[in-house]
Chain A
Amino acid sequence: MARGRPIKVLLAKLGLDIHWRGVVSISRLLRDAGMEVIYLGNQFPEAIATAALQEAPDVVGLSTLSGNHLSLGPKVVRLLREKGMEDIPVIMGGVIPPQDMEELKRLGIREVFGPNTPVSRIISFIEQEARERRV
């Protein structure tokens, strides 16, 4: 990890999905872990990609539990690629059927965290991704 500069995470709730408990809690727990967190609230993929271009985060995290993961999650990855940010890892969390987790990874999502994932696992995953990117 680069000394002095905290890991920067961009978090968003995908589209119309109204459940904010998980993502708001995660954003505070990541801040507790010393990260800089920008929580965008509810956003559609285009706005998330634009924010990523401005903020240059180490990781983009998307939260969903309303069934839009397969259509909107990979769309964010696609838009990041189009804007030349293919190296920013995109992770997802929420209520996502196990079968879809594999499909999401195939479509470019770096990791998918289902319900009941310990936050410590998410933190260490983000730290590792950031470390690798900053080498």
Chain B
Amino acid sequence: MKKKSLFHPETIEEIRQARSRWERDCLSPEDLEGEKNLRSASGIPLRLIYTPEDISELDYMRDLSFSGLAPYTRGVYPNMYRGRPFTIRQIAGFGSPEDCNKRMRFFLEKGGTGLNIVLDLPTIRGYDSDSPQAEGNVGQCGVAIDSVEDMASLFEGLPIDRVSVSLVTHLPSTTVVLLSMYLVMAQERGIPWESLAGTTQNDFLMETTIGSAPEILPPRQSFRIQCDVIEQASSLLPRWNPVSYNGYNLREAGTDAITEVGVAIANAEATARELIRRGLHPDSFLPRFSFFWDLHNDFFEEIAKCRASRRVWYRITSEGLGAEKPRSHLMRFHVQTAGITLPAIEPLNNIARAAIQGLAAVLGGAQSLHVDSYDEAFSAPTEQSALISLRTQQILQVETGVTKVVDPLGGSYFLESLTSQMESRILEFLEKINSLGGIIASVESGWMHRLIADFAYEQQRAIESGKFPIVGVNYQPGESSQIPQEIFRYPETESRQKQKLRELKSQRDKGAWHKAMNDLRECCLQGGNLMPPVMEAVRARATLGEIQGVFRKIFGLWEFPLK
């Protein structure tokens, strides 16, 4: 018998016919019911079984190729985890800088390989710990940072020239200040900026769309600061990712996987175009762009999402933005498993959910990972639950063998079909954003907010009706009695931070502070990159709240378009 290759048109036709016979002879009509209505979490129709017929259009070299080669579907580096294991980057953040420093040391002692710092809400929103708006939130759910002195205490004794640091700064207006504090702190410790590796979030959607709060900067100003930070970092910080395009929080607020990736890529593309307009070459900044995904429970769709996002980004950077360096095309991303999927009911089940989501991240080719802790629905993790998360990562890394082969699910009929469908749906979403006038316009008009609110509402209704099953909650619910649960308690922080602020303000050089604040105001009014005057203000011991106060006063405030 003559052999025919698997993807030969005649073979595909044979498979098509055999499939029809199989459906007719081996399946009952009920077996095929699912073909009509079963869908992936973001609505892609699912077949009962996948065959070469489903990927007959796939062009191996154009769509898959090899890891480390365009279009990077199979991974950004040739040897992937054999050469560089994913960074174990558990979040730490609570209390004062001194408290948080202890948790970071704990992670490093137990084998964490990167730091990941989350700030409290007054810090994220640009208020000092002694501001009336900060009441009740100082040191809760994140660490309080008011000045460069706090930044120094936060990292005291930690090897920041060797370990990469992610600062979850959320808003660009906060990023420009906190990154400046980080740089001034490093300089005062004698650490050269070239050796600093890490990431700041710096996403204007965090300022205007994902987080609602009083006193938000207008989208255009927030976007300007986002670009200012990237522009400065591209010349000062060769190892720093000045932006992490944040799909994660968007997804947590309420979107499907396609929108999550689509919005982040639309923002990245818009930033690149603005920086090119400012005169920068795309190869000077694109290699430092990074992304942040949220991995939910739909295992294969999430893996497909990671693979498709790399392919889409390559198509955009090579065709649309004209980047030439291979590194400019690489979509490198951090994954956090999905907090929103972790209920308070039967919380230990969350260990299983987070582990499976973490596995999807590894199979999707993530560069760094945070696995959520089972007690998220109560408070920040206890030391014990945080340790389980860190151990989950180590189990994935050294016990399961999933890091030994690059893109081990590549070639799966199902996964490749799903990856291609995710790709085309992400591209469709990008066209939609374009038709609305771009990412900033879609925020200004409130379109993006409505999209998120509608999704969250529909999903809540699906949970209420049982259409969206959650084990132990609306599917096979258990006993309602709660097992006693150890809850993390935040240390008292407010009065300690207030005391430090009083000392800082009485001891700083008032002349230098006045001059720096005036220069900052001038730059806000006249235009030009805001980061240099912010860095001067930080050096003169200006506080986060003082600097953000200038932004709020000069740029004005914007009303959150959703009531």
A-side residues, CB < 8 A to B, are: 13-21, 24-25, 28-29, 39-44, 66-72, 95, 97-99, 114-116, 118-120
C-alpha gap A97/B127 in the complex (Å): 26
Q: Find out whether the CB atom of B473 lies under 8 angstroms from the CB atom of A18.
A: no
Q: A16 touching B137 by the CB < 8 A rule?
A: yes
Known interface pairs A16-B134, A71-B135; A120-B560 also in contact (CB < 8 Å): no
Q: Specify the main secondary structure of chain B where it touches its partner.
A: loop
Known contacts A18-B124, A95-B377, A95-B378: A72-B135 contact under CB 8 Å: yes
Determine if A15 and B133 form an interchain contact, defined as CB atoms under 8 angstroms apart. yes
- Interface SS, A side: mixed
Residues of A within 8 A of B213 (CB): 16-18, 42
CA distance A119 to B415 in the complex (A): 37
Given A21-B456, A41-B563, are A98 and B487 also a contact pair (CB < 8 Å)?
Answer: yes
Most chain A C-beta atoms within 10 Å of own C-beta, residue among B124, B125, B345, B378? B378
Let me know if B137 and A15 touch, CB within 8 A.
Answer: yes
State whether the Cβ of B252 lies closer than 8 Å to any Cβ in chain A. Answer: yes
Q: Is the CB of B212 within 8 A of A16?
A: no
Interface check B191, CB cutoff 8 A: no
List residues of chain B with CB within 8 A of the CB of A115.
Answer: 343-344, 377
Q: Which residue of A lies closest to B489 (CB)?
A: A97
Decide yes or no whether B358 CB sits under 8 A from chain A.
no
Nearest chain B CB to A70 CB, angstrom units: 7
CB distance from A131 to the nearest CB of B (A): 23
Contact residues in A for B453 (Cβ distance below 8 Å): 24-25, 28
Which B523-552 residues have C-beta < 8 A from chain A? none
B460, A24: Cβ atoms closer than 8 Å: no
B253 interfacial contact with A, CB 8 Å? yes
Judged by a CB distance under 8 angstroms, whether B557 is at the interface is no
Q: Given the known A-B contacts A21-B456, A66-B121, are A98 and B141 also in contact in the complex, defined by CB atoms under 8 Å?
A: no
Q: With an 8 A cutoff between CB atoms, is B254 at the interface? A: yes
Partner of B140, one of A28, A41, A66, A116: A66
Q: How far is the CB of B294 from chain A (nearest CB, A)?
A: 13
Closest-by-CB residue of A relative to B210 is A18
Return the chain A residue nearest B487 by Cβ.
Answer: A97
Whether B344 pairs with A120 at a CB distance below 8 angstroms is: no
**A1 to B453 Cα, complex, angstroms:** 30
Of residues 56 through 89 on chain B, the ones whose CB sits less than 8 Å from some CB of chain A are none
* B507 adjacent to chain A (CB < 8 Å): no
- Give the docked Cα–Cα distance between A117 and B248 (Å): 24
Q: A41-B560, A67-B490, A116-B345 are in contact. Are A15 and B135 (CB under 8 A)?
A: yes
Chosen A-B contacts, 29 in total, with CB atoms closer than 8 Å, are A13-B212, A14-B136, A16-B122, A16-B125, A16-B213, A17-B137, A20-B212, A21-B252, A21-B253, A21-B254, A21-B452, A25-B254, A25-B456, A25-B457, A29-B461, A40-B563, A41-B563, A42-B212, A42-B214, A43-B214, A44-B132, A67-B379, A68-B121, A69-B136, A98-B378, A98-B485, A115-B343, A115-B344, A119-B460
Chain A residues with CB under 8 Å of B470's CB are 116
Contacts of B136 in A (CB 8 A): 14-15, 67-72
Which residues from chain B contact A19 at a C-beta distance below 8 Å?
211, 253
Contact A119–B464 (Cβ < 8 Å):
yes
Which residues of B line the A interface, CB within 8 A?
121-122, 124-125, 127, 132-137, 140-141, 210-214, 252-254, 340, 343-345, 377-379, 452-453, 456-457, 460-461, 464, 470, 473, 482, 485, 487, 490, 560, 562-563
| Selected contact of B482 from candidates A42, A98, A118, A119, CB within 8 Å | A98
Specify the chain B residue showing the minimal Cβ separation from A20.
B212
B121, B460, B461: the one within 8 Å of A16 (CB): B121
Residue of B nearest to A119 (CB): B464
Least CB distance from A39 to B in Å reads 5
Q: How far is the CB of B464 from chain A (nearest CB, A)?
A: 6
User: A8: shortest Cβ distance to chain B, in Å?
Assistant: 16
Which A residues lie within 8 Å of B473 (CB)?
Answer: 116
Contact partners of A67 in chain B: CB under 8 A: 136-137, 140-141, 379, 490
Measured in the bound complex, the distance between the Cα atoms of B487 and A29 in whole Å is 30
- B340: A residues at CB distance < 8 A: 21
**In the complex, are the beta carbons of B379 and A97 less than 8 A apart?**
yes
Contact partner of A120 (CB less than 8 A), chosen from B133, B252, B464, is B464
* Separation of A119 and B457 alpha carbons in the complex (Å): 11
How many angstroms between the C-alpha atoms of A19 and B125 in the bound complex? 13
Question: Closest residue of chain A to B342, judged by CB?
Answer: A115
Nearest-Cβ distance from residue A17 to partner chain B, whole angstroms? 6
- Closest Cβ of chain B to A117, distance in Å, is 9
In the complex, chain B residues whose CB is within 8 Å of the CB of A95: 377-379
Q: Specify which of A25, A40, A44 is in contact with B460 (CB 8 Å cutoff).
A: A25
Top 10 nearest A-B pairs by Cβ distance? A67-B140, A18-B211, A71-B136, A68-B136, A20-B212, A16-B121, A115-B344, A97-B487, A115-B377, A25-B460
Nearest residue in A to B380 (C-beta to C-beta)?
A67
Please, which residues of chain A bring their CB within 8 A of the CB of B377? Answer: 95, 114-116
Chain A nearest CB from B1 CB (Å) reads 59
**Identity of the chain A residue whose Cβ is nearest the Cβ of B211 in the assembled complex:** A18
* In the bound complex, CA of A29 to CA of B459 (Å): 12
Which residues on B sit within 8 Å (CB–CB) of A29? Answer: 457, 460-461
The reply to whether B490 and A16 contact each other, CB–CB distance below 8 Å, is no
Q: Output the least CB separation between B483 and chain A (Å).
A: 11
Cβ distance A69 to chain B, nearest Cβ, rounded Å: 8
Which of A24, A72, A97, A98 touches B562 (beta carbons < 8 Å)?
A: A24
Task: Identify the closest chain A residue to B377 (Cβ).
Answer: A115
Write the nearest CB–CB distance from A107 to chain B, whole angstroms. Answer: 13
A18 lies within 8 A of B343 (CB): no
Nearest Cβ on chain A to B107's Cβ, whole angstroms: 21
In the bound complex, residues from chain B placing their C-beta under 8 Å from that of A99 are 487
- A25–B460 Cα gap in the complex (Å)? 7
Q: Is the CB of B464 within 8 A of A118?
A: yes
Contact status B457-A18, CB under 8 Å: no
A68 — which chain B residues lie within 8 A by C-beta? 121, 135-137, 140
A68 to chain B, nearest CB (A): 3
Which residues of A sit under 8 angstroms from B464, Cβ to Cβ?
Answer: 118-120
Other A-B contacts than A24-B453, A28-B453, A68-B136, 8 sampled, CB-CB below 8 A, are: A17-B213, A19-B253, A41-B562, A44-B214, A66-B121, A67-B137, A95-B377, A115-B344
